[in-house]
């Protein structure tokens, strides 16, 4: 069984409301309690070849508005999305993913430079990403992260290569902390794959 402290519908974002969504979802809303705030890790060493002569730009990822907020998405079946109550990301999801990808490239120690738009770097390649899924999927009892990535030659405007990266990590608990830890593991795997794939492609 999968249980959530409570979840919030996409149409009721002003307050946390306990909803009897399906029999497996537990509801125990605490009223005015503050949301727990979570961050993502960027512990990536980078197994791809070194590219010390290359500089990379990481633009803000694109994402659908239902995903791109500081709310943590829960898929309860098919196309129905809700939000995990009493929990939130420390920033808008796209900005978090962008920052953690930059950190991952920096932590790899294998690129000449990495930054975001506006920093004035002389860029060789852009790593353009789209967040397709970043959610707790109750139908699969798993945290799912799916991000598509393109390597764009900044000088010619051509796509060097593109790929979709997806990771599902089983949920191992019924607390917000447990769900986010599963999401963090899934994102760590995807970000590591993106870094290694990029290093091999530039």
pLDDT of residue 164: 98
pLDDT at 48: 74
Provide the CB-side half-sphere exposure for 132 (13 A, CA). 11
Q: Is residue 43 part of a domain?
A: no
Average pLDDT, the chain: 84
Q: What's the domain range around 72?
A: 52-201
Percent of the chain with pLDDT over 90: 69
Q: What is the pLDDT of residues 13-40, one digit of tens each?
A: 333 333 333 323 333 333 445 889 999 9
- Considering only CA atoms, which of 186, 132, 125, 190 is closest in space to residue 159? 125
75-97 pLDDT tens trace: 998 889 999 999 999 999 999 99
In angstroms, the CA 70 to CA 92 distance is 4
pLDDT at 15: 32
Residue 10 lies in a domain: no
What is the number of domains present in the chain?
1
In terms of pTM, does the model score above 0.75? yes
Q: Which of 149, 134, 139, 150 is nearest to 182 (CA)?
A: 134
d(CA 3, CA 121): 46
Q: Is 18 part of any domain? A: no
Output the domain CATH number for residue 138. 3.40.50.10610
Note whether residue 46 is domain-resident: no
């Amino acid at each position: 069984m999968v249980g959530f402290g409570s979840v919030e519908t996409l149409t009721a974002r002003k307050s946390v409301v306990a909803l009897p969504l399906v029999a497996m979802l537990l509801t125990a809303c605490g009223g005015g309690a503050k949301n727990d705030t979570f961050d993502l890790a960027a512990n990536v060493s980078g197994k791809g070849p070194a590219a010390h002569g290359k500089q990379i730009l990481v633009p803000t990822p694109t994402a659908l508005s239902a995903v791109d907020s500081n709310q943590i998405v829960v898929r309860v079946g098919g196309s129905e999305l809700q939000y995990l109550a009493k929990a939130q990301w420390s920033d808008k999801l796209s900005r978090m993913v962008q920052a953690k990808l930059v950190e991952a490239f920096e932590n790899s120690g294998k690129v000449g430079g990495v930054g975001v738009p506006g920093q004035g770097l002389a860029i060789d390649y852009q790593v353009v990403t789209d967040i397709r899924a970043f959610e707790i999927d109750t139908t699969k009892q798993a945290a799912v992260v799916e991000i598509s990535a393109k390597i764009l030659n900044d000088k010619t405007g051509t796509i060097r290569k593109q790929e979709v990266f997806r990771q599902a990590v089983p949920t191992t608990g019924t607390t917000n902390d447990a769900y986010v830890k599963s999401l963090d593991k899934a994102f760590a795997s995807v970000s590591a794959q993106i870094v290694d794939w990029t290093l091999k492609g530039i």
